Amino acid sequence: MQSVGLFCSQQASIQIPLTHRILRNFSMPHYQTHSDQRAPAINKAILKLAEMESAERGEIFTRSEVVEFILDLSGYMTTKQLWKSTILEPSFGGGDFLKEITKRLLKSYISKSKSLEGAFEDLKDSVRAVELYKPSFENTKLELIELICSLGLEPKVAKKLVNQWLRNDDFLLHDLDIKKFEYVVGNPPYVRQEEIDNALLAEYKTRFNTIYDRADLYVPFIEKGLLLLKEEGSLAFICSDRWMKNKYGGPLRGLVSNNFHLSCFVDMFATDAFHDEVSAYPSIFEIKKETCKGKPTRILNKNLKDSKEFKFKKLIKNNSFYEIPELVDGKEPWILDHPEELKLLREIESKFEKIEDCGCKVGIGVATGNDKVFIRKGNEVDIEKSRKLPLLMAKEMKSGEIDYQGTVLVNPYDKNSKLIDLEKYPKTKRYFEENAELLKKRHVAKKNPAKWYKTIDKVTYELTSREKLLIPDIKGKANIVYDSGDYYPHHNLYFIVSNSDWDLQALQSILKSDLTLFFISKYSLRMRGGYLRYQAQYLRRLRIPEFSSITKSQVNRLKKYSSGENFQLLNELVYEIYGLSNKDQKLITETVKRV
């Protein structure tokens, strides 16, 4: 087949500068939004969202080779009669996807059409694309018209097509004139809930069931995109993989499990997929409007560093994908690893109980809402001694040891976890009043103005004196520290206490082992730099034996290794306790080497 460039008429190429001048001096009308039908508070919130800086709006531009890979994956190929299908781009930004879509669409159309006279009627409903940010919308509109002209259509037709295709509005609230699509592709915005006005967030929540817990804005983008698919249609996105494993992704995972098929997942862990750096690793996934029963998910997990290596046909030819049968399971996290690793994980889960079902409790330290006020060096703040609670920070835990630097929490709670009467603590009262402006700005204070000096979390006084294990949130490998009962944990530390006969120093060794790292690597998200997250939701999935099933000799050896560095002997002992075969041990070793 000839290249697109061969279909560019001389007339069109000559008229590009003219087209540009026409457009600069002609305010082209575009489809009206539904703003006049929305409450003023909603319109105000949408405008605020639209006027954010690009980083705050979650606007990240995708490299061209990644765009091409996604379109190939979804099947949007020039060998098809693309003008007879419909494709949606829900947040087109600078037009990374939209331009490639247009090239493919026109190449497909021009190569199979005898005449271009009916181009507008044939192509007008082939594309719909939405963008909220006005400058991006206008710039991409101009660039798209020039592109269409360069591909062989007249400026008048190009303008009419772009006017028909593009929508300047909030995708989540916009009512599209086309109700179902064969293809939905793109890079949805990564915006946190805290950035969205309460009125707008409430409106979103009335429309989308997947906005749960702290779900980011890309989650309802996925939901709406899925609901707009025709039967056997394909949604292919590049975005954060967080929803696939963490708590807030549960409802969306359930939606996919019950109504769709996760047909393909591509791990972008090591790949520079965007023009800007992002903190959370992206993934590419394709979800089809078809039943998932009996159908496998194709997985690509090759740690390709250069995005130029993402050539779909070549990867297919080289058998780079592997398959996992019926991967999704309701709202459960998706384990998107090699089938042998998943099989071993499920075997261990079937033989041993979750850590909290064995008499241990997982929790998180205190969140204050303003650490600069509540967390100080004990010798630098003039308050009553009883209000200084020794607080341990993640930075004070190094190589399995505590290096306490005298940090304290200015504690507004008594021993019964009740908020103190400031009149009884004049120094603390003065300190809080000096910082009242900062404290009253916090969300927790606005919700309860009379208790403006409270922390987000209550302080459970007895936790300080309890024996516990402390674990920092983000680490490459486990940093499990034993506290005999001297400190209260900060919010970036998770803790484990025993409400049973489990010996915490023995448990410390198990948690330091490669087996625990294997478990965490399956459930945890991977952050920039390759770090895993040791969050409570993942720690609670750890499986441990009943303490009574471990011999006294094994317990003593576990305790001996808890503060040492002999990881080989520790791992051998843990494998012995769990009854793992040599084959299982080798698989775990190979897996954690990649972490």
What's the pLDDT score for residue 326? 78
Q: Which pLDDT score, from 0 to 100, does residue 281 have?
A: 65
Return the minimum-mean-pLDDT range out of 57-71, 202-216, 523-537, 574-588: 57-71
**Residues facing residue 127 across a β-bridge:** 87
Q: Bridge partners of 527?
A: 280
Rg, the chain, Cα only: 28
CATH of 4-341, one of 3.40.50.150, 3.30.505.10, 3.20.20.20, 3.40.50.2000: 3.40.50.150
Residue 16 above 70 pLDDT?
no
pLDDT of residue 267: 83
| Tens digit of each residue's pLDDT (9 = 90 or more) over 571-595 | 999 999 999 999 999 999 999 988 7
Q: What is the pLDDT of residue 10?
A: 31
| Contact between residue 173 and residue 223 where contact means Cβ atoms under 8 Å apart | no
Token output for 193: 């809930």
Residue 280 pLDDT > 80? no
Residue 527: pLDDT band by 50, 70, 90 thresholds?
Answer: confident
Query: 493 and 527 in contact (C-beta within 8 Å)?
Result: no
DSSP 459: P
pLDDT in tens, 480-518: 999 999 999 999 999 999 999 999 999 999 999 999 999
In this prediction, residue 22 carries a pLDDT of 39
* pLDDT above 70: percentage of residues in the chain: 86
Question: What integer pLDDT is reported at residue 182 of this predicted model?
Answer: 98
> Domain ranges in the chain?
4-341
118, 120, 123, 128 alpha-carbon torsion, rounded to 10°: -170
- pLDDT tops 70 at residue 68: yes
> How far is the C-alpha of 478 from the C-alpha of 481, rounded, in Å?
9
Summary mean pLDDT of the chain: 88
**What whole-number distance in Å separates Cα of residue 462 and Cα of residue 108?**
70
Question: Rounded to whole angstroms, how far apart are CA atoms 33 and 181?
Answer: 20
pLDDT digits (tens, 9 = 90+) for 331-389: 999 988 888 999 999 999 999 999 999 999 999 999 999 999 999 999 999 999 999 99
The predicted-structure confidence for 427-485, as pLDDT tens digits, reads as follows 999 999 999 999 999 999 999 999 999 999 999 999 999 999 999 987 666 789 999 99
Q: Please say if the pLDDT value at position 254 is more than 90.
A: yes
CA distance linking residue 466 with residue 518, whole number of Å? 29
Asked if 296 and 264 count as a contact pair (C-beta separation under 8 A), the reply is: no
pLDDT band at 27 (very low <50, low <70, confident <90, very high): very low
Tell me the β-bridge partners of 474.
533
Chain segment 207-239, per-residue pLDDT in tens:
999 999 999 999 999 999 999 999 999 999 998
Q: For residues 127 and 134, what is the distance between their CA atoms, to the nearest angstrom?
A: 19
What is the model's pLDDT at position 1?
Answer: 35
Given this model, what pLDDT does residue 312 score? 59
With beta carbons less than 8 A apart as the criterion, state whether 476 and 531 touch: yes
The residue to which tokens 């087109």 are assigned: 92
Tell me the mean pLDDT in the region 303-329: 67
**pLDDT value at position 310?**
57
- pLDDT for res 177: 95
The greatest distance separating any two alpha carbons of the chain, rounded to the nearest whole angstrom, comes to 90
Query: No. of H helices and E strands in the chain?
Result: 23, 23
